[in-house]
Amino acid sequence: MSIYLDNAATSFPKPESVYQAVDHAMRQVGTSPGRGGHRRSLEAARIMFKAREAIAGLFSIPDSSRIIFTHNATGALNLALHGTLLPGDHVITTSMEHNSLLRPLRALGKSAVEVTVVPAGGDGLVDPDDIRKNLKRNTRMVAVGHMSNVCGAVQPIDRIAALCHEADAIFLVDAAQSAGSINIDVLSTGIDMLAAPGHKGLLGPPGTGFLYVAPHVTVKPILEGGTGTDSTSEEQPLTMPDGFEAGTHNLPGIAGLKAGIDFIRERGMDALFQHELNLLDEVMFQLRSIRGLTFYGPEEGQRGGVLSFTISGIDASLLAAELDQRFDIAVRAGLHCAPQAHRTLGTFPDGTLRLSPGWANTSEEIAFFSDAVVQCVKSLRETF
């Protein structure tokens, strides 16, 4: 039995419709939108438009032209940060963030952008009052990951959004772990910029992602080049979304992303999310008797489909390797590109073992995984 429990990194397998959409775009379309007036290029443009509309529908975005396709959430976050912030601006973020957010902020900090990192609690949750206390006159943005990729903590983004609006600050949400799992309504929540990858919870292929930019937010392109529009000008156009999508699009990936979103809407996002939570509850129940085991993150109701744990005396990376080699079980161990989060949880520098089930996992697989963990722990303790 081969078991994949690393969906927080990349969801696998994809729904069959995703593979079919990618194959159709590769074999039957084979080109990009805006690169010609022939029928294949026009079909590519239709695929792009339908994908934008699918994203808009999922996140309650009223104007799909405000959705910029990127190659991943990292690209979306870099565009949101480097395309918006100026020297003298102040940004607030949290200690639970992924390096995809923290590293560009650190780079901007060297260019006279002031960055404040608000510490989360030991359960990974951020108190909005701590963000309020750090607001300044020059606070231009608050940038927060919706759900932790380490412990699954889901931040209260509605309360944080309200603080941002009171302070006239842009609210940027990194939805890398929550998009496709937790319902996000950009209008009712008050999200000004939303960054997400396509290859995780949205069930699309790698090399896809997007950034939503609200109409009142001004952003500048950070990549110049061919757009297929306004070709007479040597200056980069600022029109949405063309001016922010220089170069050839990943059309097969975007076609697959649209199919992934369609699958989510057909199955029901809430049902898919509850399935993941139920599987994690089974894991916690079945592993509860292991001596020295600690689960990390908040209580039920404040966490998503990611679970991290450590076992005293057992190296998490070694345990993950044993699960892979002996049982063909894929999990992830270490710092998960989020060292600040592990410092917050008290698991730095060794990190944790993380599992993240997906739509295709079953209770039988969870039982097999749990039994494998017990066997590996017993073997490792006898060896070391």
Q: Which long-range contacts (CB under 8 A, 24 or more apart) does 2-5 make?
A: 2/328, 2/329, 3/327, 3/328, 3/329, 3/330, 3/361, 3/365, 3/368, 3/369, 4/330, 4/358, 4/361, 5/329, 5/330, 5/331, 5/355, 5/356, 5/357, 5/361, 5/365, 5/369
pLDDT of residue 110: 95
pLDDT digits (tens, 9 = 90+) for 329-342: 999 999 999 999 99
Lowest mean pLDDT among 40-44, 350-354, 371-375: 40-44
pLDDT of residue 280: 98
Q: How far apart, in whole angstroms, are the C-alpha atoms of residue 182 and residue 148?
A: 13
199: pLDDT strictly greater than 80: yes
Domains annotated on the chain, with CATH: 3-12+268-383 (3.90.1150.10), 16-266 (3.40.640.10)
Lowest mean pLDDT among 25-34, 110-119, 130-139, 198-207: 25-34
Confidence of residue 29 (pLDDT cuts 50, 70, 90): very high
349: pLDDT strictly greater than 90: yes
pLDDT of residue 382: 85
Q: How far apart, in whole angstroms, are the C-alpha atoms of residue 70 and residue 244?
A: 9
Confidence of residue 272 (pLDDT cuts 50, 70, 90): very high
pLDDT digits (tens, 9 = 90+) for 122-166: 999 999 999 999 999 999 999 999 999 999 999 999 999 999 999
pLDDT digits (tens, 9 = 90+) for 233-267: 888 888 899 989 898 899 999 999 999 999 999 99
Q: Which residues are catalytic?
A: 337
Q: How far apart, in whole angstroms, are the C-alpha atoms of residue 108 and residue 114?
A: 8
pLDDT digits (tens, 9 = 90+) for 8-21: 999 999 999 999 99
pTM above 0.85, yes or no: yes
pLDDT of residue 234: 81
Q: What's the rounded mean pLDDT across residues 345-350?
A: 97
More confident residue, 245 or 55: 55
Give the residue among 153, 139, 140, 141 at the shortest CA–CA distance from 97.
153
pLDDT of residue 305: 97
Q: How far apart, in whole angstroms, are the C-alpha atoms of residue 8 and residue 94?
A: 20
pLDDT digits (tens, 9 = 90+) for 236-245: 888 899 989 8
Angstrom distances, CA of residue 182 to CA of 172, 273, 274: 17, 7, 10
pLDDT digits (tens, 9 = 90+) for 309-327: 999 999 999 999 999 999 9
CB crowding 113-126: b at 16 or more within 10 Å, else e:
bbbbbbebeebbbb
226: pLDDT strictly greater than 90: no
pLDDT of residue 94: 98
**Phi, psi (degrees; rounded to nearest 5) at 355:** -125, 145
